[in-house]
């Protein structure tokens, strides 16, 4: 749940799409960033790394982040904890300057080496896309 929305996210290496299940609306990456500005602070591939418990490559070298202006509208902080699978990133905090908001994502548990083919899904074609504002 993000706010009062229940989102089904499809995260690929270079794209994020979402389906607001409650309102049967589809978000493309642009409309998702407008509705949820924290997606502007993290690339889809970096979000995938976080979900697997890894520190995204973009954030491993602090000097590179500052010199390349990868984050110019806020801050991102990661925290980790020791698990049976080693040290894993378990939370990320987004501080968005322009929106004056803070969003925290926590991962309570992960199942590794498990296969869930029934969870490999796409957003249904019948979902109504969010119209872009002009």
pTM of the full structure:
0.70
Out of 57-61, 67-71, 73-77, 78-82, the most confident range is 78-82
With cut-offs at 50, 70 and 90, classify the pLDDT of residue 69: very low
Domain contains 65:
yes
Domain contains 115:
no
Domain contains 51:
yes
Range of the domain at 95: 7-109+121-129
Domain contains 114:
no
Mark out the alpha helices in 26-132 (DSSP H runs).
29-35, 44-51, 62-68
Q: What are the Cα distances from residue 94, in Å, to 31, 38, 39, 112?
A: 19, 6, 9, 26
Min mean pLDDT across 23-27, 33-37, 109-113, 130-134 is at 130-134
The whole-number pLDDT of residue 91 equals 92
């Amino acid at each position: 749940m993000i706010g009062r929305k229940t989102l089904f996210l499809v995260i690929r290496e270079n794209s994020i799409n979402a389906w607001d299940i409650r309102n049967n609306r589809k978000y493309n990456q642009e409309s998702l960033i407008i509705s949820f500005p924290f997606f502007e602070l993290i690339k889809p591939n970096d979000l995938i790394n976080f979900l697997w418990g890894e520190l995204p490559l973009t954030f491993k070298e602090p000097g590179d982040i500052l010199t390349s202006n990868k984050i110019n509208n806020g801050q991102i902080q990661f925290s980790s904890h020791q698990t049976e699978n080693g040290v894993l990133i378990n939370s990320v905090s987004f501080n968005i300057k322009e929106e004056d908001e803070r969003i925290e994502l926590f991962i309570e548990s992960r199942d590794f080496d498990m296969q869930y083919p029934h969870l490999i899904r796409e957003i249904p074609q019948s979902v109504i896309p969010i119209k872009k504002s002009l």
